[in-house]
Structure 1
Amino acid sequence: MSDKLRLGVNIDHVATLRNARGGAHPDPVAGAWAAIQSGADGITAHLREDRRHMRDDDMVRLQTLCESEDIPLNMEMAATSEMLKIALDLKPKAVCIVPERREERTTEGGLDVVGQHNSVAPIVRELTENGSRVSLFIEAQRTQIDAAKSCGAAVVELHTGAYAHAHEDDNIELAAEILKTLQDGATYAHSLGLEVHLGHGLTFDNVSDIAAIPEAVELNIGHFIIGEAVFMGLEPAILEMRRIMDAARV
């Protein structure tokens, strides 16, 4: 297996709580600071077109915090000219390009890099030349992995949402089938020289098999950790996720 698996904590839903009432609290940057102090290896934040979670000034403050702590900020963004300009100005260490639709509650499914290759590739190139390490959030399909490689991405983040849903539904057969697809996709991506991350819908109950994928370098987890923090606190939630991930790598 690779070295210790990294945990990226997505703090979008600290902003969701703030935005439910307006005002300044709870501050997602304070959430990021607490996550860093609790052992997060990176901070992920999605600046959406409708700004339902993060605001532009949040991203600036997050970048300042992460730079001061030498922790990577992973900016999730749609492949649009607006977001490209913001990311080029912000210069986060990492950018993850994701699909985005206004009507969705959260990102559902992977980016169609095959179908959007000609629009995604120039964005990947500009971001890379600007100093950001670019990842594409995709399904674990060879055609999408090949397209990600062709676009010049350094990283693929494999979408684990379908696996999480099957696990939640106690559909053991389907969960095992999807897990095998993720394992095969990770092996294939690694063989092409791509770094492999995984994320979406991961919880204490389903993360072990994902964390055990040998080629996995990083997991990005947000909604569940922030939700559990309501009951047990952010630090205990992160430490418990870290414990389960580490145990899966033994």
Structure 2
Amino acid sequence: MPVLAVNVDHVATLRQARMGIEPEPVSAAYIAEIAGATGIITHLREDRRHIQDRDVELIKQTCNTRLHLEMAATQEMQTIALDIHPEFVCLVPEKREELTTEGGLNCIGREKYLQEYLLPLHEKEIRSSLFIDAEPKQIEAAKTIGTEYIELHTGHYADAKSIIERQKEFDKLIQGIKLAQNIGLKVNLGHGLNYRNILPFKAISGIMEYSIGHAIMARAIYVGLDRAVRDMAELIRTFVV
């Protein structure tokens, strides 16, 4: 059965807007786990615009499920991951000027570097994922790199402006899912998914995990975080295995 991992970055964004002490991402992580999340996601950016090192450390210490650390493939982040020892790392692209991650990681031509980058993490039994677009060459490169998982970027699908464009992006994702599964990769989905646009994936088998943050935190403003997470977790439980 597919599961839900909740990204708590936006809780940190709200805190950092005032450079204060609340709200606490670690508290959000605790509530999300109680409500049915099977993983907590934090993206420790180079510019530290939201999640801080302290947040990752505290969530790792208190997390009752799995900590997923999203990060750029830099030496600094590798050192932090080896020290904190999350259950998962997901390598993502990172640009200082972007509002949020705008596309997948480019793996083509970087296979050797990324393979060597992940090696010490794998040796410490930290599982890895690569956040990539649903492009056949990127998926094949991910297989060469030796990651166990990929997370297909659903942002283009979520941001589509027309029914035709959305269907085109959905079909591309389905083709990517099938290719990845056929070559032995486990598939997660994430970015821009919400309570409505996630529904077409209900009949798609083999998805391991859905990574969702913004939609849950937006809903939480109106119904509370426990209810927002619980609604999404229960929705995903109805999906095919």
1:148 aligns with 2:142: yes
Decide which of 216, 219, 243 is 2:234's aligned counterpart: 243
Q: Is the CA contact 1:161–1:201 (under 8 Å) kept in the aligned structure 2?
A: yes
* Alpha-carbon distance between aligned partners in 2 of 1:50 and 1:211, rounded to the nearest angstrom: 36
The CA deviation string for residues 84-122 of structure 1, in whole angstroms up to 9 with x for no partner, is 110011110000000000000101100001132232111
Decide which of 202, 207, 221 is 1:230's aligned counterpart: 221
- Equivalent residue for 2:78? 84
- Equivalent residue for 2:120? 126
* Alpha-carbon distance between aligned partners in 2 of 1:241 and 1:110, rounded to the nearest angstrom: 24
Q: Is the CA contact 1:207–1:244 (under 8 Å) kept in the aligned structure 2?
A: no
Paired letter, 1:190: Q
Extract unaligned runs of 5+ from structure 2.
none
Identity %: 45
Q: Is the CA contact 1:28–1:58 (under 8 Å) kept in the aligned structure 2?
A: yes
Decide which of 176, 179, 182 is 1:191's aligned counterpart: 182
Shift of 1:57: 1.0
Q: TM-score by structure 2 length?
A: 0.97
* Alpha-carbon distance between aligned partners in 1 of 2:168 and 2:49, rounded to the nearest angstrom: 34
Deviating 4+ runs (over 3 angstroms) = none
Name the Cα RMSD after superposition.
Answer: 1.2
* Alpha-carbon distance between aligned partners in 2 of 1:39 and 1:27, rounded to the nearest angstrom: 19
The CA deviation string for residues 51-92 of structure 1, in whole angstroms up to 9 with x for no partner, is 0111111111111112xx2x1100000010110110011110
Q: Is the CA contact 1:209–1:248 (under 8 Å) kept in the aligned structure 2?
A: no
Decide which of 173, 176, 181 is 2:167's aligned counterpart: 176
Shift of 1:174: 1.3
Q: TM-score by structure 1 length?
A: 0.93
